[in-house]
Chain A
Amino acid sequence: MTESSVIRIENVTKDYYMGRNVVHALRGIDLHVERGEMIAIMGASGSGKSTLMNMLGCLDVPTSGDYYLDGVHVNDLSDNELAELRNRKLGFVFQGFNLLARTTALENVELPLLYDRSGRQRDTRALATAALEMVGLGDRLDHQPSELSGGQQQRVAIARALVSEPTVVLADEPTGNLDSHTSVEIMALFQELNRQGITILLVTHERDIARYARREVEVRDGRIIRDEVVRDRHQAAEDLSDIPDPDADDAPAAAEGAS
């Protein structure tokens, strides 16, 4: 654990105030993430995984404690600076895919580039196409979410997370809405991206999914209770042949995209 960590959070807490009640969602978390890691965050429902991910994703600010992303002290930033950080350094993948409805895959993937204010003049269309090709959807550019299977929608979401070449990809239960075969496919994709050097943090409550990561962190009641290297790491690409494919990849979506 060095100063060059991509993510460094120190004694972070998060309280939610519900009228007179206070919910201590995070009770003091320390976590360092190095470049190129692939971490699975585990824990029961309500343990604080999503809260932690939102914090790491600069969608929320901690009640106390410090967060450094790529050396930047996130606590000090304004809303606009947080938005810029999300745009430039972070890629999100959600359980419910969260694609824009009635918008093509290409346009969905292009979206982060359109909000890029860095002034880099880039061919957004070409970059979005390349990202979709990388996740294996080069032939689905003009499909809308409703015309794609759940697995394909999640691939679009991953392409969208990748297109701005973020420092970290954050995925909150990315396989939560997918059948087991598709889940492993998605994990194979994450492993492939990680092999190319992309840092990935993903939340899951399935041990089977967590074992594709390199490192496993377990959260309970807002604290990290376990943080260790995955010993029996599986290769999703190899496992795929063992898991029956219930139907073809172009099965109807398991869940609706964003409406």
Chain B
Amino acid sequence: MKTATLVRVAVQSILKNKLRAFLTMLGIVIGVGAVIIMVGVGYGAQSSIEKQISGLGTNMVMITPGESRQGGVSMGSGSFNRLRIGDYDKLKREAYLVSGVSPVISTWTQAIGGQGNWRTSVNGVSTDYQAIRDLNFAYGTWFTENDVRAMRKVTVLGATVAKNLYPDTDPVGEQIQLRNVPFTIIGVLQSKGQVMGMDFDDVVLMPYTTARSRLSGWSRLNFIVASTFSPSDIPAAQDEIRLIMREAHDIGQFEEDDFTIRNQDELASAAQSATQIMTMLLAAIASISLLVGGIGIMNIMLVSVTERTREIGIRMAIGARGSDVLTQFLIESVVMSVMGGLIGLAIGIFGGMIIGWVTGWNTATPPQAIVLAVGFSAAIGIFFGWYPARQAAALNPIQALRYE
């Protein structure tokens, strides 16, 4: 039989049992749909993280306490934290390749003012922080070196804090209570958006000197951020920072660093490898339903071969070869699984679009995923259709004709 005829015959016999064919396909539909959604979401999450990390600042280098670990980004793990203001001072004084450097002292507190109260993160930083993080202002201005030296109780609100406490107004000049200490608002930041699920707008900034004396009271820094003059300076700057830090911490020649220096690319790739692992995990779980779908196809094809034993006998009697029968049943299972795969693909793309619309991610389905989904479902059709088709082809025509 010609292939076109075989495909037509297969489609015809699938259409003779529409409901069953649909239920059989459902497994593949769900499997492919789930995989496509997972891959699309992972892809979207990745590209949005990429975009946001590049928006975090310019030529940024981050020094975190604790030795470097593979995979995760450690931010402020307390046990090894030996970052001190002294480290910051030394970097400020000695690092030539660094255009700006700022300590970050971070704590959570209740902010009271304007419309009520709001629990937020308070970060004590230096004046360099604005340039490092590329902060822009909606209202007011940044604090000055004088404010730092005098430990003035001035504060700059992140967009989220301002939106919640002072909606649609300019709060510059207002008082805000942080841990029962009144601060004067001198500025409000423009929105930076979310990175890795963290809201970088849900923050209150102030001079690190003020934060240390008024709020946190301890001498440890959560981390230090620095920036270089140009992207090409970053590797050299990282080396320079490392030497200075090792000296500051009095680390011997054969001892490990007790801090970690990462640049923006490294931060991005750490976050990306985390999402990549997550995506693969989700896709792996989703592909289990593909396997289940394949088993469903095999089951129905076996039933179908038994039910159609007489049909097989008739076809053989009028000249069908074993290979014709094999191909017929194989094409039937492939057509079913590919149709299921295409429906699943449509659902997956559509589902990904909805998720993208809800989360604001760019959940574009990569074209490889489409090819893969169709190819994979065809492979499942062949793999799980093979055994039933072999059973059909191996039938003895006389016995098949006698089958009741």
A259 within 8 A of B: yes
User: Once the chains are docked, how many angstroms separate the CA of A59 from the CA of B320?
Assistant: 12
- The interface bits of chain A over 41-75 (1 if a CB of B lies within 8 angstroms of the residue's CB, else 0) are 00000000000001001011000000000000000
Report the contact-size class of chain A (Cβ under 8 Å from the partner): 20 to 34
Query: B321 contacts A98, CB within 8 Å?
Result: no
A10 within 8 A of B: no
A100-B319 contact in complex given A94-B401, A114-B1, A115-B324, C-beta closer than 8 Å? no
User: Once the chains are docked, how many angstroms separate the CA of A141 from the CA of B284?
Assistant: 52
A129 within 8 A of B: no
- Chain B hits for A115, CB < 8 A: 1, 315, 318-321, 324
- Chain A hits for B318, CB < 8 A: 86-87, 92, 111-112, 115, 160
- Chain B hits for A208, CB < 8 A: none
B317 within 8 A of A: yes
- Chain B hits for A98, CB < 8 A: 310, 313-314, 317, 401
- Return A59 CB to nearest CB of chain B, in Å: 5
- The interface bits of chain A over 90-128 (1 if a CB of B lies within 8 angstroms of the residue's CB, else 0) are 001010001111110000000110111000000000000
- Return B242 CB to nearest CB of chain A, in Å: 75
- Chain B hits for A102, CB < 8 A: 16
Query: A59 contacts B398, CB within 8 Å?
Result: yes
Query: A112 contacts B314, CB within 8 Å?
Result: no
- Chain B hits for A111, CB < 8 A: 315, 318
- Chain A hits for B240, CB < 8 A: none
A59-B397 contact in complex given A92-B317, A98-B314, C-beta closer than 8 Å? yes
Residue A84 contacts which of B313, B319, B322 (CB distance < 8 angstroms)? B319
- Chain A hits for B16, CB < 8 A: 102
User: Once the chains are docked, how many angstroms separate the CA of A131 from the CA of B323?
Assistant: 28
Query: B311 contacts A86, CB within 8 Å?
Result: no
Most-contacted residue by chain B among A92, A94, A99, A100 (CB, 10 A): A100
Residue A57 contacts which of B1, B2, B317, B321 (CB distance < 8 angstroms)? B317
A83-B320 contact in complex given A60-B398, A94-B401, A102-B16, C-beta closer than 8 Å? yes
Query: B5 contacts A114, CB within 8 Å?
Result: yes
- Return B308 CB to nearest CB of chain A, in Å: 8
- Return B100 CB to nearest CB of chain A, in Å: 79
Most-contacted residue by chain B among A79, A99, A101, A114 (CB, 10 A): A114
User: Once the chains are docked, how many angstroms separate the CA of A259 from the CA of B403?
Assistant: 10
- The interface bits of chain A over 142-181 (1 if a CB of B lies within 8 angstroms of the residue's CB, else 0) are 0000000000000000001000100000000000000000
Residue A258 contacts which of B310, B316, B321, B398 (CB distance < 8 angstroms)? B310
A80 within 8 A of B: yes
A88 within 8 A of B: yes
User: Once the chains are docked, how many angstroms separate the CA of A102 from the CA of B307?
Assistant: 14
Q: Which residue of B lies closest to A100 (CB)?
A: B311
- Chain A hits for B316, CB < 8 A: 59, 83, 86
A112-B310 contact in complex given A54-B398, A60-B398, C-beta closer than 8 Å? no
10 smallest CB-CB distances across A and B, nearest first, come from: A87-B319, A115-B319, A112-B318, A83-B321, A258-B310, A86-B319, A59-B397, A98-B314, A115-B320, A80-B321
Which chain B residues have a beta carbon within 8 Å of chain A's beta carbons? 1-2, 5, 12, 16, 307, 310-311, 313-324, 397-398, 401
Could you name 8 residue pairs across A and B whose Cβ atoms are closer than 8 Å? Answer: A54-B398, A59-B317, A59-B401, A83-B316, A86-B319, A94-B401, A101-B311, A112-B318
Which chain A residues have a beta carbon within 8 Å of chain B's beta carbons? 54, 57, 59-60, 79-80, 83-84, 86-88, 92, 94, 98-103, 111-112, 114-116, 160, 164, 258-259
